[in-house]
Amino acid sequence: MSAAVSVRDLHYAYPGDRGRAVLRGVSFEVAAGERVAVLGPNGAGKTTLMLHLNGILTPSAGSVTIGGAVLGRDTVREIRRRVGLVFQDPDDQLFMPTVGEDVAFGPSNYGVSGDELDDRVTRALGSVGLADAASRAPQHLSLGQRRRAAIATILSMDVDVVVLDEPTSNLDPSSRRELSTTLQALDATIIVVTHDLPYALELCPRALVLDGGRIVADGPTVELLADADLMAAHGLELPWGFDPRTAVSGS
């Protein structure tokens, strides 16, 4: 059975940046239904990696395979239907007059219409707790609601993989909890790029640590966060007094 996501020896350097490598041989696999956090300091290459997973960026070398299909010119359209990216700023994904129109935008561009389109919008909004928001303007929602609406815009595509960039950024505790409940209920493979280490522990049993464009650790999130030497070596710091082992045993 193919992995949901397979990244092999991925290399990337931004054009015009004197050839400075941002990704330097990144390799990992994510199984279907798995929830994995990608951790690392600023500048580690986390967002760059995320943008490779549905072809927004094209690697200098290496490959990305989604459900057995190698990402390339002939497959990128289908893979973009299967891999949904949720950006840190939900306003990058909400641009239509109403939330319902935003959620319908993606599948309608893939030829979905009529009752099927209406059903997808209803199901996607219901799955993120916004069943009554279809007719509302996005700018009238709270930040937490807009972030969940952004997730609905990719769920309406019936994606297999959801990739989120800093999903808890600037959220209050209530919105953070609502988002966690939403993500834990999704029937999809989830990859979360985050600096929020307690949230990574709460949501993702497994984590990757990316630093200097390389995967430097891959294992159970609780074990990585409890490794003080690993954390210090890669610029990761837990909130004062937070013990990941106690947090897991007490959950």
**Contacts of residue 155, Cβ cutoff 8 Å, sequence gap at least 6:** 84, 123, 124, 127, 128, 162, 186, 188
Beta pairing, strands 69-70 & 61-66: antiparallel
pLDDT tier for residue 251 given thresholds of 50, 70 and 90: low
Tens of pLDDT along 74-131? 999 999 989 999 988 888 889 999 999 999 999 998 899 999 999 999 999 998 889 9
**pTM for this entry:** 0.90
Average pLDDT over residues 183-202: 91
CA 158 to chain centroid: 15
57/78 Cα distance (integer angstroms)? 16
Residue 182: what pLDDT? 84
All structural domains of the chain with their residue ranges: 5-249
Q: Which amino acid is at 87?
A: F
Residue 43: what pLDDT? 87
pLDDT tier for residue 242 given thresholds of 50, 70 and 90: confident
Residue 29: what pLDDT? 97
Domain 5-249 has CATH 3.40.50.300: yes
Percent pLDDT > 90 in the chain is 70
Residue 19 has pLDDT above 80, yes or no: no
Average pLDDT over residues 39-45: 91
Nearest residue to 193 via CA among 41, 82, 47? 47
pLDDT tier for residue 17 given thresholds of 50, 70 and 90: low
Residue 249 has pLDDT above 80, yes or no: no
Residue 2: what pLDDT? 66
Percent pLDDT > 70 in the chain is 97
